[in-house]
Amino acid sequence: MAKTVADALELAKSVKMVDIRFTDLPGQWQHFTIPVRRFTAEFFEEGIPFDGSSIRGFQEIHESDMLLKPDPETVFIDPVANIPTLVVTCDVYDPITLQPYARDPRYVARKAEAYLKQTGIADTAYFGPEAEFFIFDNVRYGSTTHESFYYIDSEEGWWNSGRADRQNFGGQIQPKRGYFPVPPADTLSDVRSKIVMALEAAGVPMEVHHHEVATAGQAELGMRFTTLTRMADQLLTYKYIAKNVARQNGKTVTFMPKPLFGDNGSGMHVHSSLWKGDTNVFYDPSGYAGLSETAKYYIGGLLKHAPALLALTSPSTNSYRRLVPGFEAPVNLAYSQRNRSAICRIPVTKSSKAKRVEFRAPDPSSNPYLCFAAILMAGLDGIQNRIDPGSPQDKDLYDLPAEEAKLIKQVPGSLAEVLDALEADHEFLLKGDVFTTELLEAYIEYKRTMEVDPVRLRPTPYEFILYFDV
At a CB cut-off of 8 Å and minimum separation 6, what does 283 contact? 290, 291, 292, 295, 352, 353, 355
CB 107 within 8 A of CB 91: yes
- Selecting among 24, 104, 130, 186, the annotated active-site residue is 130
Strands 124-136 and 218-223: antiparallel
Residue 423 annotated to the active site: no
269 tagged catalytic: yes
**Among 24, 91, 220, 381, the one annotated catalytic:** 220
Q: Are 23 and 367 in contact (CB under 8 A)?
A: yes
Q: Which of 269, 345, 356, 426 is catalytic?
A: 269
The active-site residue out of 192, 345, 360, 426 is: 360
Q: Give the list of residues 6+ apart from residue 148 with CB closer than 8 angstroms, or none.
A: 142, 458, 459, 460, 461
- Under a CB-based contact definition with an 8 Å cutoff, are residues 385 and 302 in contact? no
Q: Helix crossing, 415-424 with 437-447: angle to 10°?
A: 160
Catalytic entry in 73, 212, 363, 451: 212
The closest alpha carbon to 435, from 363, 358, 376, 359, belongs to 376
Q: Which of 177, 209, 321, 340 is catalytic?
A: 340
Residue 360 is a catalytic residue: yes
Active site residue 230: no
Helix (H, G, I), strand (E, B) or coil at 153: strand
**10, 31, 38, 51: which is the annotated catalytic residue?**
51
**Which residues are CB-neighbours of 6 under 8 A, at least 6 positions away?**
none
Candidates 71, 78, 358, 381; catalytic one: 358
**H helical segments located in 314-350:** 319-322
Q: Which amino acid is at 173?
A: I
Distance CA 405, CA 350 (A): 31
Q: Please say whether the beta carbons of 142 and 153 come within 8 A.
A: no
- Indicate if 212 belongs to the active site: yes
Q: Whats the size of the chain, residue-wise?
A: 470
Catalytic residue (choose from 132, 137, 186, 233): 132
Question: Which of 380, 432, 452, 358 minimizes the C-alpha distance to 121?
Answer: 380
How many Å separate Cα 211 from the centre of its chain? 19
Residues designated catalytic: 51, 130, 132, 212, 220, 269, 340, 358, 360
